[in-house]
Amino acid sequence: MITTCYGGRNRKIGIALAETEKPVSVLEGELLGGQSAQGVLTAAEVHSMLSSKKLDHQFPIFTTIHMICQRQAPADVLISCLRNHPEHN
């Protein structure tokens, strides 16, 4: 996931997700010429797998990233998610 996030397309979409309220599909059209951002797809796949195994609550960072990509949460909630991660409390 981290490697995927450092790619050019993923970085562009990530910045745009934080700076705009546009959905990912619109951002991909505007910024990537219709190509997809692999990180968004990966986040959805990871979330789907975790949810199917009822493990999403044990992986709050992955869950939060998915929620941000789906516009179910603003990007700044990732900071509080990291600060409140069970491994750091």
Domain boundaries, the chain: 2-88
- The sign of the dihedral angle between the CA atoms of 82, 51, 25, 6 is positive
Tokens matching residue 12: 């562009």
Name the stretches of the chain with pLDDT < 70: 1-7, 88-89
Cα–Cα nearest to 19, from 27, 8, 10, 7: 27
Closest C-alpha among 37, 7, 10 to residue 25:
37
**Spatial separation of the C-alpha atoms in residues 78 and 8, rounded to whole Å:** 21
Tell me what the pLDDT averaged over the chain comes to.
88
pTM of the model: 0.81
What is the reported pLDDT for 5?
A: 56
Cα atoms in the Cβ-side hemisphere of radius 13 Å centred on 11: 4
